[in-house]
Amino acid sequence: MDANTNMALKNAWDSVIATVDELRQIDPVSTDLEALQPKVLAQANAAQALRGLVEQLRRKAEAE
C-alpha cells in the first residue's frame, strides 16, 4: 500500500476507536437517549467508512 492509503486506513481506524472510546464512557441506562443517539450514529458512520475502505482495498488488491 502507498503512503496515502496507509494514512486513510489509519485515520479510519482511529475514528472507529475514538468513537468506541466515547461510547465506553457513557452509562447507557442513565444517559438521555437524545444525548446518546449522536454518539451512536458517529460510531456507526466511522465503522461503515472503515468497512468501505477495507472493501475497496480488497477489490484493488484482487485486481492487481
Q: What is the mean pLDDT of each run of 10 residues along the chain (64 residues)?
A: 92 96 89 90 97 96 92
The pLDDT score that the predictor gives to residue 53 is 96
The pLDDT score that the predictor gives to residue 21 is 94
Residue 30 DSSP class: T
Domains contained in the chain, number: 1
Show the cell assigned to 24: 465506553
Domain interval for residue 10 = 3-63
Residue pair 42/8 in contact by the 8 Å Cβ criterion = no
The pLDDT score that the predictor gives to residue 30 is 84
CA-nearest of 24, 16, 10 to 45 is 16
